[in-house]
Structure 1
Amino acid sequence: MGMTDTKNVLLAGASGVLGAHITEALTRAGHTVIGLGRGPGADVRADLMDRDGLLRAVEGISANTVVHAATALRRAPMKHSDMYATDDLRLTGTGHLMEAARAVGARRVVAESMVFGYGYRDFGDRLVTEDGDPFGEADDRATARHVEAMRVKEELVLGDPGIEGVALRFGLFYGAGGTDALVDLLRRRGLPAVADHGRVLPWVDLADAGRAVALAVDGGRPGRAYNIVDDTPMGFGAHVKAVAAAFGTPRPLNVPAWLMRPFPYAHRMATTCMRVSNARAKAELGWAPARPGCVEGLRALAAA
């Protein structure tokens, strides 16, 4: 499989929901996407956890950029153990992919990251920024493994002296391909709305996230991390209610957050409070969300 066009992008995680949006945005920007994954639909079939198999799989391929958007998640994580395979992918698979990036002659690597690398806690009313807040410092043992994995992934990408590394710290995803599961649960009355009590979280439409990756492939400062979130934070419970309103499902039952304690990861995420600045992405990437927040985005999604 000989490919030499400098517009080639090797995309790890192309078969995922985010990967589909990234592929669309990159293709629209004039790039040729080479999908890397374990499934039969991948252009290059390989497992990031299998170093030798990965390096054999990319032999003969040339790509100017590698995008790391691979995840081991197939559904929303509820327990901390649900995140372990993705943690391992970040801790170990990223190193293997960086070796593959050098093997295909990549100049740039763009990595998916998450705002939860700042920590799963209450940040109050202040804006979390890339320069003002440490990334990769956990508050407790329960989340330490996840936060450490996000930190290591970024360090491997941003700290490689031969690669122009860029990390995109996404908020919680919603949008085409991502909101469908929530709508289905709401229609079956299987999803409650957790009381937010003033807590908010950063969100980003999957299509906006895909555009951010395309912009980072073509620009962005090497060694930089960018927060990719919309302009209007919203609590997890409020988001569930907004989905129900946009899609006309039965109204979800309001429940206190403590009822989620049997699902410790979901409980910890839903009880985090975080307002995140996207000013750097706007200034340096030229990125901005298509709509200010989830309410407008969900209405447009339902109308489509």
Structure 2
Amino acid sequence: MKVLMAGASGLLGRKVVRELRAAGHEVHGLGRGEGSEVRADLLDREAVLRAVDGHSFDVVVHAATALQGKKMMRHQDMAGTDVLRTEGTANLIAAARETGARRIVVESMMFGYGYGNHGDRPLSEDRDAFGPVQSDVWLERHVGAMRAKEALAFGAEGLEAVSLRFGMFYGKGVTETTVLPMLRKRALPVVADQGRALSWVDVDDAARALAAAVERGRAGQAYNVVDDTPLGFAGHVRAVAAAFGAPAPRTVPLWLLRPAPLAHTIMSTNLRLANDKARAELGWTPTHADSADGLASLAAGVSRLAA
């Protein structure tokens, strides 16, 4: 198939391109950078339509974010991605229609189920509401953007839409470039989990799932893409430290993170997702049952390369 991909130059995007090309598909990246085959700003509708004029594609993929280099401490760190999820999605749908694409696959994330305490039961795609209205203005902006992205895709007449709701990313290109340097600088305090847990997914596994969705995701369906075993944020960070021999993070009271409101919200959220649907319909399974095993494997691979 011919695939037009927004976000092809990002970390997840590069891995997805690798997976799709290995499967024999032709991928054209859409973006402003030199490496993009289709050059346009995703937020400039007319520029996007000019750039795709004369092209034909079978599938459009929206995995563009503005998170690269962000530490996810402030709500403003999500602002650019919120806009890409709304205006960018609308522009990509227009590009899909212009180029005759029959399918659109969009990236989303677990927090679209809402921040806060969801209890110990893993949430599923068909039983639990996605995009509940949030009481906080900033949180509603984030969740509302994820809600709108899916609504735009699923409501696009003539397009088969598929959405992937990813857990928190870790793995090659994420852990050793973001979390690990902060740990080594003693710049990543954590809050005691106190029974809270989040769902995680290795970014390479996420890329395999997205490629599978391009080929065989069921039209009109969303899929949770997470590993089997949720782990608290503090537990995950401590697993990074243990795997790489870095200093263990300091544990601080939750109120101390109020100057970093997005981090404060993430660390105080209890949200677990089930992955049964992705296993059954995409034929996807996580490489590691939990992020602690995945981190140990990543650290061992880094050590082998350094030896």
Per-residue CA distance 1:167-211 (angstroms, 9 max, x = gap): 000011111111121111112222123211110001110000000
Helix, strand or coil for the counterpart of 1:283? helix
Q: Equivalent residue for 1:212?
A: 209
1:16 aligns with 2:10: yes
Counterpart of 1:121 (choices 110, 116, 141) is 116
Q: Equivalent residue for 1:263?
A: 260
CA distance in 2, matches of 1:43, 1:239: 37
Helix, strand or coil for the counterpart of 1:9? strand
Counterpart of 1:58 (choices 35, 46, 52) is 52
Counterpart of 1:163 (choices 159, 166, 172) is 159
CA distance in 2, matches of 1:101, 1:298: 38
Contact 2:134 2:143 in 1 (8 A): no
CA distance in 2, matches of 1:43, 1:189: 41
The size of the alignment, in residue pairs, is 298
1:126 Cα shift? 1.2
CA distance in 2, matches of 1:228, 1:25: 16
CA distance in 2, matches of 1:91, 1:97: 10
Structure 2 gaps of 5+ residues are 302-307
CA distance in 2, matches of 1:27, 1:257: 45
Runs of 4+ displaced beyond 6 Å: none
1:231 Cα shift? 0.3
Q: Equivalent residue for 1:4?
A: none
1:81 aligns with 2:72: no
Q: Which moved more, 1:167-176 or 1:35-44?
A: 35-44
Q: Which amino acid aligns with 2:28?
A: I
Helix, strand or coil for the counterpart of 1:273? coil
Helix, strand or coil for the counterpart of 1:255? coil
- Aligned-pair RMSD on alpha carbons? 1.1
Contact 2:164 2:223 in 1 (8 A): yes
Per-residue CA distance 1:17-72 (angstroms, 9 max, x = gap): 11111111112221121111121221111111100001111112221111100011
Q: Equivalent residue for 1:90?
A: 85
1:253 Cα shift? 1.4
More strand by share: 1
> Given the two structures, how large is their TM-score scaled by the length of structure 2?
0.94
Q: Map 1:1-304; keep pairs closer than 5 Å.
A: 7-74=1-68, 75-141=70-136, 142-179=138-175, 180-304=177-301
| % identical aligned pairs | 56
Structure 1 gaps of 5+ residues are 1-6
Contact 1:35 1:42 in 2 (8 A): yes
Contact 1:120 1:138 in 2 (8 A): no
> Given the two structures, how large is their TM-score scaled by the length of structure 1?
0.95
